[in-house]
């Protein structure tokens, strides 16, 4: 039997009801536009693992199934995205030139690609009970340390997801939401991760999901690799921060490694929640030192998985290493 469970076996949900003018929406015609804009974020490191900044669009060649793509916009770190002109030069985006996507409100804003939208997904299930307050402190630290240009949303989950704080640039709002969470109930990590990715996918620009969880999952209906596929398709890197407790369940730690690496993120585990400083620093550096390009895919008959490769064309940079998601599946038309 699954029912209402008690607190301590209960998760709190601070929710923001998914908006929508139901009646109005129902009675007005909906026009669906399929726009295949691909957003690709990646980092470049040298042979010693140091981030490489200062590269230009002309330094990269983006291929999709071997087909070279034309870069539409380019952004380095937290700088605003720039339109890439035919000659490779850059021009600031304006409302008129910005790419528009009917399913992604806000994409026509020139500032859409400034900073990163960071979705924090905090596991508040029974597995986290003992370390709950420490994890909360750690997340608060992480939120405070984010770049000013970044936005952050705080989601918590146990059996259900809870939108504790919607995407905001106000760190205090985010922390208020965080501090309002409560521990308890089953762990449906992959269900919650899926819903978080769905929300993140609606937001324009670069975004990441950062999961604070020790696993293991005991209640999800969806499999980690199906969720990972969604992240790949949407171009959203997943980072996972755990303590060493996660290694008690090797399957969970393997899954964490796989879904993070395949989406362009990373998995970290430290001895305790208090010792996650290195992980936070690393993620912040990733966010601040990544490149984000967008492009409209050229004609490609492949409706399945499309392999993306990012090549560095300049000779001096050939030894650099690029970390990016390996590909995506094009969205189904509707």
Q: Hey, which residues between 146 and 165 contact another protein (CB under 8 A)?
A: 159-163
Is 256 in contact with 226 (CB distance < 8 Å)? no
Tokens of 82: 């720039």
Q: What is the footprint of another protein within residues 174-203 (CB under 8 A)?
A: 175-176, 178-183, 185-188, 190-191, 194-195, 198
Q: What is the footprint of another protein within residues 112-131 (CB under 8 A)?
A: 130
Counting contacts by CB under 8 A, is residue 258 touching another protein?
Answer: yes
Beta bridge mates, 8: 184
The C-alpha atoms of residue 158 and residue 184 are separated, in whole angstroms, by 7
Q: What is the footprint of another protein within residues 19-58 (CB under 8 A)?
A: 21-24, 26-27, 29
Single residue of 7, 70, 248, 271 touching another protein by CB under 8 A:
7
Counting contacts by CB under 8 A, is residue 11 touching another protein?
Answer: yes
Q: Site mask, another protein, residues 303-322, x = CB under 8 A?
A: xx------------------
The C-alpha atoms of residue 132 and residue 142 are separated, in whole angstroms, by 15
Single residue of 52, 140, 317, 322 touching another protein by CB under 8 A:
140
Single residue of 13, 118, 203, 231 touching another protein by CB under 8 A:
13
The C-alpha atoms of residue 267 and residue 276 are separated, in whole angstroms, by 12
Nearer to another protein, 55 or 222 (CB): 222
Nearer to another protein, 163 or 266 (CB): 163
Shortest reach from residue 93's CB to another protein, in Å: 32
The C-alpha atoms of residue 49 and residue 264 are separated, in whole angstroms, by 15
Nearer to another protein, 16 or 313 (CB): 16
Cβ-proximal residues to 17 (8 Å cutoff; 6+ apart), any chain? none
Counting contacts by CB under 8 A, is residue 332 touching another protein?
Answer: yes
The backbone torsions φ and ψ at residue 52, rounded to the nearest 5 degrees and listed phi first, read -110, 120
Cβ-proximal residues to 102 (8 Å cutoff; 6+ apart), any chain? 31, 32, 33, 35
Counting contacts by CB under 8 A, is residue 270 touching another protein?
Answer: no
> Euclidean distance between the first and final Cα of the chain, in Å?
37
The C-alpha atoms of residue 49 and residue 220 are separated, in whole angstroms, by 36
Nearer to another protein, 159 or 207 (CB): 159
Counting contacts by CB under 8 A, is residue 141 touching another protein?
Answer: yes
Shortest reach from residue 190's CB to another protein, in Å: 7
Count CA atoms closer than 13 A to 191's CA, side-chain side.
16
Counting contacts by CB under 8 A, is residue 276 touching another protein?
Answer: no
The C-alpha atoms of residue 11 and residue 6 are separated, in whole angstroms, by 8
SS3 (DSSP) at 258: helix
Q: What is the footprint of another protein within residues 217-246 (CB under 8 A)?
A: 217-227, 230
Nearer to another protein, 69 or 252 (CB): 252
How many residues bind another protein (CB under 8 A)? The answer is 81
Nearer to another protein, 295 or 325 (CB): 325
The C-alpha atoms of residue 57 and residue 62 are separated, in whole angstroms, by 10
Counting contacts by CB under 8 A, is residue 99 touching another protein?
Answer: no
The C-alpha atoms of residue 156 and residue 329 are separated, in whole angstroms, by 28
């Amino acid at each position: 039997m699954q029912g209402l469970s008690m607190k301590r076996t209960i998760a709190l949900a601070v929710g923001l009801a998914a908006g929508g003018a139901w009646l109005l929406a129902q009675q007005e015609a909906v026009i669906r536009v399929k726009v295949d804009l691909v957003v690709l974020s990646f980092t470049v490191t040298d042979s010693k693992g140091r981030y490489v900044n200062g590269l230009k669009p002309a330094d990269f060649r983006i291929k999709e199934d071997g087909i070279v793509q034309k870069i539409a916009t380019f952004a380095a770190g937290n700088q605003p995205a720039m339109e890439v002109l035919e000659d490779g030069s850059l021009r600031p985006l304006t409302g008129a030139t910005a790419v528009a996507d009917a399913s992604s409100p806000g994409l026509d804003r020139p500032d859409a690609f400034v900073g990163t939208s960071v979705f924090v997904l905090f596991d508040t299930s029974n597995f986290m009970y003992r370390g709950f307050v420490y994890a909360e402190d750690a997340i608060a630290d992480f939120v405070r340390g984010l770049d000013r240009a970044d936005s952050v949303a705080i989601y918590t989950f146990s059996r259900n997801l809870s939108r504790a704080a919607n995407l905001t640039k106000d760190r205090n709002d985010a922390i208020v939401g965080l501090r309002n969470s409560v521990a308890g109930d089953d762990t449906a990590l992959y269900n919650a991760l899926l819903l978080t990715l769905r929300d993140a996918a609606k937001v324009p620009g670069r975004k990441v999901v950062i999961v604070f969880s020790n696993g293991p999952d005991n209640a999800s209906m969806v499999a980690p690799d199906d969720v990972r596929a969604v992240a790949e398709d949407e171009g959203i890197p997943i980072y996972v921060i755990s303590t060493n407790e996660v290694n008690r369940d090797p399957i969970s730690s393997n899954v964490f490694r796989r879904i993070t690496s395949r989406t362009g993120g990373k998995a970290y585990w430290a001895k305790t929640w208090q010792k996650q400083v290195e992980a936070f620093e690393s993620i912040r550096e990733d966010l601040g030192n990544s490149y984000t390009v967008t492009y409209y895919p050229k004609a490609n008959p492949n409706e399945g998985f499309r392999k993306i490769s990012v090549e560095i064309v300049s000779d001096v940079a050939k030894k650099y290493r690029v970390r990016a998601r390996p590909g995506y599946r094009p969205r189904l038309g509707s």
